Structure 1
């Protein structure tokens, strides 16, 4: 039942990122900040046959990148300033981060840094349908160094915030939430924390649909997660 309701509001959930499906088609441009092994980008390509511009900082993952029609992958780290960025590569995980996630490391790597403005300058003035942001702790700098005009070029942002790694980020996250509201975005949090946050430009969704998504469907999803966990616990 929930899946039918979700489809009626054009919601799509891919690799822990939720976004509005009705803004994507074969003419769309999607930007994937945090390509990793490419599962999100490949799924988007398969669904919409659109253009995807992706960024991946880890050399090993970039060298092993999958290919697809309409897919462009850039070797670089996305953050705030346009300067070289030091990333930590952790053993036992595909994640690279400005945080040192584990004591066991695959080493550090310095790569070219891309600001949001520099990312957007690589494309035409075409409006961007979706930006997926999973950049392991650099999301605050990404938005913080970008102007309101640059941010508003995208209809929506699906963001994983990493305050679960660094709780001191929460104040900056709340400041960003207030800024996004001020410049014309609704915020819908599809996770218990801030791991799956959707920003949608207000001209891209009606106030009615926003209310339903934010106060009904979002909470139904939370209740379903709790129910599934209880069922799983009882089955043990």
Structure 2
């Protein structure tokens, strides 16, 4: 049985992602490492503090010790730490938003990126730009920061969070061919945003797990 270790910086995505794994990769052993202090420290600093980066790398090492065949980094805010850590870790690290960013860059020219935190928006914009550069393609990126939505969510007002996100999506969709949800926790709104805007909407959880499945197949085909 293959083992996937998913590393979380907060609590919100673990249960929804577990359900996606059960559907896409029902026969793997899934281990979750959750440290919800990580996203709190990132939000407070407005960037990735050195302490957060060090703790994440330690968790990647712990994942190796747990027998991970693949590590899934589930937080878009810290994906660049995963990039830097790949040379230190002996198993593949999949970033949950990599496939989403690649799909957006490959298939669309004007890409609206929705996020409730600047610390997630900026890395996602950079990732999509990087994927477009790899394709030799020019894309237009539209900033879709839903200001106030994150505070509403952590303040126990999910309806207000959803309202702000919906209003932001309606504004951004006028300039975009597709909407990209920068945070995996926003995936629950994918269908409602699609219906409200009439535009394609991409979210990361399923695409990320499908990439994990692809990497596991490659490992089976090319054991080392």
Which has the higher relative contact order, 1 or 2, with Cα contacts under 8 A spaced 6 or more apart?
2
Query: TM-score higher than 0.5 here?
Result: no
When the two structures are superposed, what TM-score results if normalisation uses the length of structure 1? 0.36
Normalized per residue, the structure richer in helix is: 2
When the two structures are superposed, what TM-score results if normalisation uses the length of structure 2? 0.37
Normalized per residue, the structure richer in strand is: 1
The higher radius of gyration belongs to 1
